[in-house]
Amino acid sequence: MDAIDRRIIRAVQRDGRITVSDLAETVGLSPTPCARRLERLQKEGVITSYGARVDARKLGLPVTIFVSVELEQQGRDAIGAFEQAIRRCDEVMECYLMTGSRDILLRVVAADLEAFDAFLEHRLMKVPGIRNMRSNFALRAMVQRDVLPDP
């Protein structure tokens, strides 16, 4: 991966709908080699998908909650079972396997406290293998990026 590939990646992170012609102009290539590079980056899995960024607040999901989960067991099977169950919960936007005192960190969105309570009671608390949970409500996002830094 060279500097031109990195410029292509940065440009499509900023605007996934950019045309190949505009992308080529932005990165300093002619359209055909630019299209080839873009296709290669997609085939290699560097660029994994395209999508729209949406405002959760405007869609009625203004509450963000970080939930730390401690599992009863930390074996591969227990983590796999938790992961499989949590993938079915649309409220969970991100799920990370962590080091430290908590095994899992979830980022959950909800319409309000009642909706989060319903998620806990009817979804998360029914996932087997959870020893303990702790929730923290985000007051506001201070930094939120979609464009990765240069390595």
Predicted confidence (pLDDT) per residue in 35-77, tens digit: 999 999 999 999 999 998 999 999 999 999 999 999 999 999 9
Could you tell me the fold of the domain covering 3-43?
Arc Repressor Mutant, subunit A (1.10.10)
Residue 101 pLDDT class (50, 70, 90 cuts): confident
- Whether the Cβ atoms of residue 79 and residue 128 lie closer than 8 Å to each other: no
The residue extents of the domains of the chain are 3-43, 57-137
Q: Which two structure tokens, joined as six digits, stand for 83?
A: 């992961």
Topology of domain 57-137 in CATH is Alpha-Beta Plaits (3.30.70)
Could you give the CA distance from residue 125 to residue 69 in angstroms, rounded to a whole number? 11
pTM across the whole model: 0.87
Per-residue confidence (pLDDT) for residue 146, from 0 to 100: 85
Mean pLDDT, the chain, integer: 95
Domains 3-43 and 57-137 are alike in CATH topology: no
Query: What's the pLDDT at 150?
Result: 83
pLDDT score recorded for residue 78? 94
Q: What is the mean pLDDT of residues 21-45?
A: 97
